[in-house]
């Protein structure tokens, strides 16, 4: 095999597929990037068996062929070469030469035969969404998937399409995050659980162009994302997602409108007094026109007042400050609305059209503290 | 004690002295910052017994007093407060309240009595140098102090003033770095070994203003740096520094002029093939008009040619690439000149006026490799 392409193109391609390179594996082949030019294009592939990424490079194929190169070394070398054209060639023993200007590297590659192929996903009836929108809604929900894999379903997000509306949902037993989106084009119903890791990687790789779309295809085992010159394939999580609708309610006793930045700043300050692992709640006392926030810990105490608009009952309620912070950080609105029922029932943060819904369980607290 | 000052001033002051806060100590008092207003100024002090920093804040003293506050918590709190005036007050039990807008923190401080005082250094006959110059010459020499403290003298730098010339020297047994500076004003001779850590911290704290000076005072045990509203005091290292002059020589067999960026880029690429801890040398073969660089490792091999201007003998010589990289990174010249004698004698990189001299020992290599 022999190819020639610009350093920029090759480096971009490597960095795109790199996210699917296995870092530690008993199979050394999946720590490699496959370079395959047998189909008339320069195709890079990485596949860690959970996630596979393929991208097409612009460049010239001088001799068709296929080789697998250790991803980390390949990336390091290409990154440090001068900004010029690179010629990469292999001999029959997979000895690979990478040349750029007067610099020449020799590294030993592996035969491409053992490299795991991408699962086949038939590409019909794509679900289409703008790259920017996908990035946004993933960012606004991904934080509340479960951190460990003890419950497989909670480690993913539900993607649901129904009645021209798309919904992305995550939950971890303490909170639920929901983002809804009205769709321009009609699409058949979809209900699939996508691994959180996959959504994370996809949203990091897409450029986030508002003008550009991403196409998504589904089978009963896999989801495939296609955009620009890149394809990402991932397993989906099997099983039935939680019935989130029955956990939501529109009833409330207290409704309050608050400046998001003030509220977030105050909670962030409060957490300074909480050491990691310590589960001190932040205690919120809501009266007419003001909310008082208080925290008490071994380090010290803090309290602060914030102006609010209140409707309904006064209430005193405790929260894990991290859960409030996570939700507030991803909401783009300047003022937000909170709905509460009582100190033991979930609090809901949502906008009028329910484009976003964040439901957070309160925590018990000792009022003596 | 009660003071009022802007968040910006307080935070800057905390960050300035923070570098002398002990992070892990059996004496909890030296993990604190002392706030002392008994002398009519708001003075912050940190002192880890090796290094002490004092700085004066602009602000209003409402009640004079003194308190020691845990540095990390104080910094965290102040950093997260709104951009406004902060009122900090303590009661007789050292319970400290920090107020800003509607936010109020309570933390427990310590009595200031146990806080270690700064060593006394008489301030006469200051040695004066611009902040920018000090930063530069430290950056250009600090990398070749010895990493561990097994040889105390090698963990510091020699600062020598003689005949209107200042010299800063570091060495670690494999290399020597020297920066010289012609002085505008006459000063008595100085010969003192300053801990590398101290120079590092000082050069991080000074703003690096070309217009502003730093004053340095010496006693037989301490060095004191004074600039802006800040004083830094450090122990000096006792003992006699190495006789560096007798290690230098002006003889050479090969002299070559090379583009610094090309040379550095090439060595940086070569080190990609060297795993940490592996001591593979880079082998340099100098002929007429070209230098060839080669490296061979378990990962692969690399070679590259660079154009040079040569005078004298051809030579083949091996180096630890890190030592070359360290020196090349701090030289600001576009082209540099190297002087070599033979494959076992030190190589010297220096400019015509010897404003900088970097001497690097070569390493043995197996030519079969």
Please report the pLDDT score of residue A298 as a whole number.
87
With a cut of 60, say whether residue A39 has pLDDT above it.
yes
Inform me whether the C-beta atom of residue B104 falls under 8 Å from chain A C-beta atoms. yes
Q: Does residue A289 carry a pLDDT above 50?
A: yes
Sign of CA dihedral A69, A75, A81, A82: positive
How many angstroms separate the CA atoms of B350 and B357, rounded? Answer: 5
The pLDDT value recorded for residue A367 is 55
Tell me which of B96, B97, B100, B102 to substitute to probe the interface with A (most A C-beta atoms closer than 10 Å).
Answer: B102
Q: Is the pLDDT of residue B37 over 70?
A: yes
Closest residue to B106, CB basis, from A269, A272, A301: A301
Query: CA distances (Å), B141 to each of A186, B129, B249, in order?
Result: 67, 17, 19
Structure tokens at B67: 């308190």
CA angle, corner A82, sides to A77 and A86, nearest 5? 70
**Helix and strand totals (H; E) in chain B:** 6, 25
d(CA A179, CA A186): 18
| Whole-number pLDDT of residue B369 | 43
List CB contacts of B150: < 8 A, sequence separation 6 or more. Answer: none
**Which residue from B minimizes the CA distance to A106?**
B301
B268 close to A (CB below 8 A): yes
| A88, pLDDT greater than 70 | yes
Q: Which residues pair with B291 in a beta bridge?
A: B286, B306
Strand partners, B171: B176
pLDDT of A199 strictly over 70? yes
C-beta neighbour count of A14 within 10 angstroms: 24
For A367, other C-beta atoms within 10 Å of its C-beta total 7
Backbone angles phi, psi at B331, to 5 degrees: -80, 130
A368 pLDDT higher than 70: no
* Tokens encoding A40: 């008339």
Burial class (CB in 10 A: 0-12, 13-18, 19+), B107: buried
DSSP string computed for B319-354: E-HHHHHHHHHH---SEEEEEE--TTSPEEEE-TT-
Residue ranges of E strands in A85-144:
85-90, 95-100, 103-108, 127-130
Interface probe for B, chosen from A72, A76, A269 (most Cβ of B below 10 Å), is: A269
DSSP, res A363: B
CA distance B314 to A182: 74
Buried b (16+ CB within 10 A) or exposed e, B280-292: bbbbbebeeeebe
Tokens of A154: 């909670």
d(CA B42, CA B13): 10
- A109 chain-B contacts, CB cut-off 8 A: none
CA distances (Å), origin A216, targets A21, B95, B263: 22, 59, 48
Question: Measured between beta carbons, which residues in chain A are less than 8 angstroms from residue B303?
Answer: 103-104
Average pLDDT over residues B236-248: 94
Is residue A177 a contact partner of residue A144, using CB atoms and an 8 Å limit? yes
Provide the percentage of residues in chain B whose pLDDT is more than 70: 99
- Among B residues 48-67, those touching chain A with beta carbons less than 8 Å apart: none
Q: How far is B114 from chain A (nearest CA, A)?
A: 21
Q: What's the rounded Cα separation, in Å, for the pair A46 and A58?
A: 18
Neighbours of A13 (CB within 10 A): 24
Beta bridge pairs of residue B87? B4, B99
Q: Tokens standing for B340? A: 């070599």
Q: For chain A, what is the mean pLDDT?
A: 93
Contact assignment for A82 to B265 by CB distance below 8 Å: yes
Strands B165-171, B156-162: pairing kind: antiparallel
CA separation for the pair B261, A70 (Å, rounded): 28
pLDDT score, position B124: 85
Confidence of residue B311 (pLDDT cuts 50, 70, 90): very high
> What is the sign, positive or negative, of the torsion defined by CA atoms of B81, B87, B93, B94?
positive
A272 inside 8 A of chain B by CB: yes
Q: What is the pLDDT of residue B84?
A: 96
- Residue among B226, B291, B297, B229 at smallest CA distance from B260: B291
ipTM exceeding 0.95, yes/no: no
Is B255 a residue whose pLDDT tops 80? yes
How does pLDDT run across A225-252, given as a tens digit for each residue? 999 999 999 999 999 999 999 999 999 9
Residues with Cβ < 8 Å from A361, sequence gap 6 or more?
Answer: A174, A175, A323, A346
pLDDT digits (tens, 9 = 90+) for B198-236: 999 999 999 877 789 999 999 999 999 999 999 999 999
How close, in Å, is residue A105 to chain B by CA atoms? 4
pLDDT band of B367, cuts 50, 70, 90: low
Q: Does B272 contact A306 at a Cβ distance shorter than 8 Å?
A: no
Check CB contact under 8 Å for A80 and B303. no
CB contact under 8 A, B108 and A303: no
Q: Does A95 contact B at CB distance below 8 Å?
A: no
Confidence of residue B275 (pLDDT cuts 50, 70, 90): confident
The pLDDT value recorded for residue A369 is: 44
Q: Using one digit for the tens of pLDDT, what is the confidence trace for A313-365?
A: 999 999 999 999 999 999 999 999 999 999 999 999 999 999 999 999 999 88
Of B106, B299, B303, the CB nearest to A300: B106
Residues of B within 8 A of A268 (CB-CB) are 80
- A175, two tokens: 């909170």
Q: Which domains does chain B have, with CATH numbers?
A: 2-114 (3.10.150.10), 127-242 (3.10.150.10), 248-360 (3.10.150.10)
pLDDT digits (tens, 9 = 90+) for B91-106: 999 999 999 999 999 9
- A289 at interface of B, judged by CB pairs closer than 8 A: no
């Amino acid at each position: 095999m022999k190819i020639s392409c610009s350093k920029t193109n090759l480096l971009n391609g490597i960095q795109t597929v790199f996210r699917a390179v296995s870092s530690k594996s008993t199979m050394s082949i999946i720590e490699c990037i496959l370079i395959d030019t047998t189909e008339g294009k320069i195709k890079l592939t990485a596949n860690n068996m959970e996630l596979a990424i393929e991208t097409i490079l612009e460049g010239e194929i001088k001799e068709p062929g296929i080789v697998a190169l250790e991803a980390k070394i390949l990336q390091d070398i290409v990154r440090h070469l001068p900004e010029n054209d690179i010629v990469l060639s292999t001999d029959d023993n997979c000895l690979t030469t990478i040349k750029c200007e007067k610099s020449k590297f020799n590294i030993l590659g592996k035969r491409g035969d053992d490299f795991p192929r991408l699962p086949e996903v038939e590409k019909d009836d794509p679900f289409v969404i703008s790259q920017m929108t996908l990035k946004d809604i993933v960012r606004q929900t991904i934080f509340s998937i479960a951190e460990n894999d003890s419950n497989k379903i909670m480690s993913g997000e539900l993607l649901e399409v129904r009645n021209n509306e798309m919904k992305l949902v995550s939950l971890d037993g303490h909170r639920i995050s929901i983002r809804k989106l009205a769709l321009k084009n009609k699409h058949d119903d979809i209900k699939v659980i996508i691994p959180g890791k996959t959504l994370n990687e996809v949203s990091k790789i897409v450029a986030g162009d508002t003008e550009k779309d991403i196409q998504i295809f589904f089978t009963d085992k896999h989801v495939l994302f296609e955009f620009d010159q890149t394809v990402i394939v991932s397993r989906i999580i099997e099983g039935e997602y939680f019935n989130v609708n029955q956990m939501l309610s529109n009833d409330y006793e207290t409704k309050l409108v608050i400046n998001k930045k003030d509220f977030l700043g105050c909670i962030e300050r409060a957490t300074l007094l909480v050491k990691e692992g310590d589960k001190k709640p932040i205690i919120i006392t809501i009266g007419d026109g003001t909310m008082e926030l208080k925290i008490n810990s071994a380090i010290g105490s803090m309290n602060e007042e914030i102006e609010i608009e209140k409707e309904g009952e006064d209430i005193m309620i405790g929260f894990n400050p991290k859960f409030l912070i996570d939700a507030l950080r991803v909401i783009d609105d300047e003022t937000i609305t909170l709905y509460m029922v009582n100190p033991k029932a979930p609090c809901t943060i949502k906008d009028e059209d329910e484009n976003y819904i964040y439901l957070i369980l309160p925590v018990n607290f000792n009022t003596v503290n």
